[in-house]
Structure 1
Amino acid sequence: MTITDAPPAARPVRRRRLVWTVLLWLSLMPAAVWLLARTFGWEAGLWVQFLAFTPYVAVWTLIPLVLALITRRWTAAAVASLIAFGFGMAVLPRLVANSDRGPTAGVDVRLMSANLLFSGAEPSEVVRLVRENRVDVLAVQEFTPNGEAALRAAGLEGLLPFRQLAPEFGASGSGLYSRFPFDEQAARRNGGGFQQAHATVRVPGAGTVYVESVHPLAPHHPSVVSGWSADLREQVPAEGGIPKILLGDFNATLDHKPMRDLLNTGYRDAAATVGEGWQGTWGPYDGDPIPPVTIDHVLVDRRIGIRDYGVHVLKDSDHHAVSATVIVPAA
């Protein structure tokens, strides 16, 4: 019997059930497409920006699952379960502390990265964060000549006297400040036009480690997505040579395939390793109704241990500062 043949009293009920069934399946389709795109690395146009919000979509997938179970639509519930499971496999590992954090014996080195928003971040706040967190190596992005002078006046160089600086007006400048001396130091301009200061840091009681202040091109428009992807592919891989640390504003989350490919060269993401990968580092924090996403990272060579990780409010910047304490094995 069709809806037309049903008794008049039953027709509204059947129509409502049909409507709810259609709506439930329609709610599952975008999540399924999202999961497939994330899994297989389809990153074209504005879709790159949407992928940064994958953790929020992962939570949302629980809603159609619960609705399907409540309404006893078992086929839809099975599909919803598979989708939720797929998102869980993608997102949950960064929310749970990993028992394998690398070497546990060696010399502690405290790292921090800060995107200074065209050096508009309050210099005294940067110095305070460095002092209170006993930072040994600081990486800065969006670092300008005026910002360099302001940080010097605020006393940063008294705390971190060794430096490799490549300040430029605009967003392309970069810098490294260190408590420890450098063996080699330079800056390279990536394909997107941003400077990336780097140095081999001589850690007392341990060997040298390579540290780079990372700032790939942001995928702010479909026309630059290929440049964004190329910048991430061209970051220094972990394997070979001395142990390495990359930290900075990567303009990518762990849901972007080029970022995952970089990790697979032999890095750990410090936040995900200690179960803090859920913390957003870029909002923006200026009142816009955009949920935070995690695009600032500390990537640590697997030959180096990870002790802890933190996210810190940075006044007058649209980014939070990120920090990590790593364990460099003794020489």
Structure 2
Amino acid sequence: MIRVLATVLGVLGLVVAAAGMAARYLPLSNQPLLIVAAAAPYLLLAAPVAAVLLLLGRRWLLVILAAALTAAAVVVYLPRYQAPGTPEGQDVDVRVLTTNLAMGEADPRAFAALASERADIVAVQEMTPQAAAGLSSAGMDVAFPYRVIAPAQLASGIGVWSRYPIVNSGRIDGYSLPMIGTRVRIPGVAVDTTVLSVHLAAPWPQDISHWRGDIARLPDTLSEIGRTSGAGAVIVAGDYNATADMAPFRALLTGGYANAVAGGGLLRTYPQNGVVPALLGIDHILTKNADAVSVATVDVAGTDHLGLVATVSVPVDMTSS
């Protein structure tokens, strides 16, 4: 009886883990499949449990399958926990903070204090006019004398603050929500750094087609940004409404772009309510011609997202990167 029960539970665990792994590589055409992909790190925990249960049930072939799936999960996730190597050459460390302000509900004084302490460049999403005014009153413009902001009601506001001069900027259209691109002049760096604040449509609860259209369009935008930036570093920070377990997100990591992880693990940022830990990592910082040397989540009072702060090592001589 114990062998039968162990076999049944082991097979169920194997199916659950296999579903999580498979969903990581599918195009995510509907919301149920997207939810499975988002839950993949948790579903794959069933693989080693299934291996033990199937071992008790003496189902040797299934044990091998469960063990192989466990090994595959280790290969997928272990690199996210490995510390990065030391960048070569001369570099300038730039601290980048990104967060979703939850339709302007983030506490402006707390956020301004956090940004002043932890960041050199700040990218925000869902910045309402009221939130922009509150941040300015809280001293954001003093700590960050350069800014390009486009406040708007609900989820459409976006912006970038910088301690360094912003020498060029523009709005990036064609998406469900606006994006902002800037050129930042970092002292000592030969070529200006491009910084984007991005916000893709949410795939839930509204129709997933908006998100699918946005994330399918983004690789071309990043490719063009990379081309126009030349040898300069590119930093793309924001709310992608996608986890690293989703194939459409990983399709962004081409042409020299990398997801800033730097040993931080899964970096879960959402949903944050102060009681239950965040479950999903949907906020990201991508880099090109630069390397993240540390990444961490930070509490942001009043919002349902954790902030993401990264130290990005920008080479001084970009021609050698």
Q: Same fold (TM over 0.5)?
A: yes
1:179 offset after TM fit, Å? Answer: 0.8
Number of the residue aligned with 1:314: 300
Number of the residue aligned with 2:168: 184
Name the CA distance, whole Å, in 2 between partners of 1:276 and 1:136. 20
Identity %, equivalent residues: 32
Name the CA distance, whole Å, in 2 between partners of 1:293 and 1:70. 33
For residues 142-291 of structure 1, the aligned pairs below 5 Å read 142-192=126-176, 194-206=177-189, 207-220=191-204, 221-224=206-209, 225-237=211-223, 239-240=226-227, 241=230, 242-271=232-261, 274-285=262-273
User: What are structure 1's unaligned runs of at least 5 residues?
Assistant: 1-12
Instruction: Deviation per CA, 1:185-214: give whole Å up to 9, x if none.
Output: 11223422x111110100111121100001
Q: Structure 1 216/203 Cα, relative in aligned 2: closer, same or farther at 3 Å?
A: same
Name the CA distance, whole Å, in 2 between partners of 1:322 and 1:23. 38
Q: Which amino acid in the other structure matches residue 273 of structure 2? A: Y
Instruction: Deviation per CA, 1:232-263: give whole Å up to 9, x if none.
Output: 43441374323211011111111111211111
Q: Structure 1 69/21 Cα, relative in aligned 2: closer, same or farther at 3 Å?
A: closer
- The question of whether the paired residues in 1 share the 8 Å contact of 2:294 and 2:312 is answered with yes
1:20 offset after TM fit, Å? Answer: 3.6
Q: TM-score, normalised by structure 1?
A: 0.86
Name the CA distance, whole Å, in 2 between partners of 1:88 and 1:282. 23
- The question of whether the paired residues in 2 share the 8 Å contact of 1:103 and 1:305 is answered with no
Number of the residue aligned with 2:104: 119
Instruction: Deviation per CA, 1:154-204: give whole Å up to 9, x if none.
Output: 000001011111111010110000111112111223422x11111010011
Q: TM-score, normalised by structure 2?
A: 0.89
Match status 1:35 vs 2:35: no
User: What are structure 2's unaligned runs of at least 5 residues?
Assistant: none
Q: Which amino acid in the other structure matches residue 70 of structure 2? A: A
DSSP 3-state at the match of 1:210? strand
1:129 offset after TM fit, Å? Answer: 0.8
Size of the aligned set, in residue pairs, is: 309
Match status 1:77 vs 2:77: no
Q: Structure 1 160/259 Cα, relative in aligned 2: closer, same or farther at 3 Å?
A: same
Larger radius of gyration: 1
Q: Which amino acid in the other structure matches residue 216 of structure 1? A: L
